[in-house]
Amino acid sequence: MYLGLKEMGHEKLRYGLLSGVLLLIALVVFMLAGLANGLSNGNRQAVDQWHAQTVYLNKDANQTLSASQLKLADQKHLTGDDIAPLASLSGTLRTTNNRLKTTASAFGTTRDSFLMPKVLTGHKINGKNQLLISAALKDKGYHLGQKVRIGTTDHYVTIVGTFKASTYSIAPTVYTDVATLNRLKGNPVTSGDQQPVNAFVTKKSHFKNSKHGDMQRLSIATFIEKLPGYSAEQLTLNTMIYFLFVIALAVIGIFMFVLTLQKQALFGVLKVQGIGTKHILAALLTQSVAMAIIGIYSIALLLAAVVGALLSWRTVAKIDPVVAIG
pLDDT at 130 over 70: yes
Name residues whose C-beta falls within 8 Å of residue 28's C-beta, 6 or more positions apart in sequence.
244
Which is more confidently placed, 63 or 245? 63
**Segment 151-168 mean pLDDT:** 91
Residues 114 and 256 in one domain: no
Range among 13-17, 25-29, 73-77, 293-297 with highest mean pLDDT value: 73-77
pLDDT at 89 over 80: yes
Residues 18 and 87 in one domain: no
Residues 179 and 237 in one domain: no
**Segment 102-123 mean pLDDT:** 94
How many structural domains compose the chain? 2
pLDDT tens per residue, range 28-76: 877 888 888 888 888 899 999 999 999 999 999 999 999 999 999 999 9
**Segment 265-292 mean pLDDT:** 66
pTM for the model stands at 0.74
pLDDT at 253 over 60: yes
Domain that residue 9 falls in:
2-38+232-325
Q: How confident is the model at residue 297 (pLDDT cuts 50, 70, 90)?
A: very low
**Domain for residue 105, yes or no?**
yes
Residues 90 and 207 in one domain: yes
Q: How confident is the model at residue 23 (pLDDT cuts 50, 70, 90)?
A: confident
Residues 203 and 292 in one domain: no
Residues of the chain with pLDDT > 70, as a percent, come to: 74
Yes or no: say if 159 and 133 are a contact pair by the CB < 8 Å rule. yes
The pLDDT value recorded for residue 271 is 62
Nearest Cα to Cα of residue 262 among 213, 315, 305: 315
pLDDT at 93 over 60: yes
Residues 182 and 67 in one domain: yes
Name residues whose C-beta falls within 8 Å of residue 315's C-beta, 6 or more positions apart in sequence.
257, 260, 261
Name residues whose C-beta falls within 8 Å of residue 26's C-beta, 6 or more positions apart in sequence.
295, 296, 297, 298, 301
| H-run or E-run covering 301 | helix 299-310
Q: How confident is the model at residue 131 (pLDDT cuts 50, 70, 90)?
A: very high
**Domain for residue 52, yes or no?**
no
Residues 203 and 73 in one domain: yes
Boundary residue ending a domain (213, 244, 261): 213
Q: How confident is the model at residue 302 (pLDDT cuts 50, 70, 90)?
A: low
**Domain for residue 280, yes or no?**
yes
**Domain for residue 44, yes or no?**
no
Residues 158 and 209 in one domain: yes
Q: Which amino acid is at 93?
A: L
pLDDT at 198 over 70: yes
What is the spatial distance between Cα 134 and Cα 123, in angstroms, rounded to a whole number? Answer: 13
**Domain for residue 7, yes or no?**
yes
**Segment 192-215 mean pLDDT:** 87
Residues 94 and 148 in one domain: yes
Residues 243 and 297 in one domain: yes
As a whole number, the mean pLDDT across the chain is 81
The pLDDT value recorded for residue 280 is 67
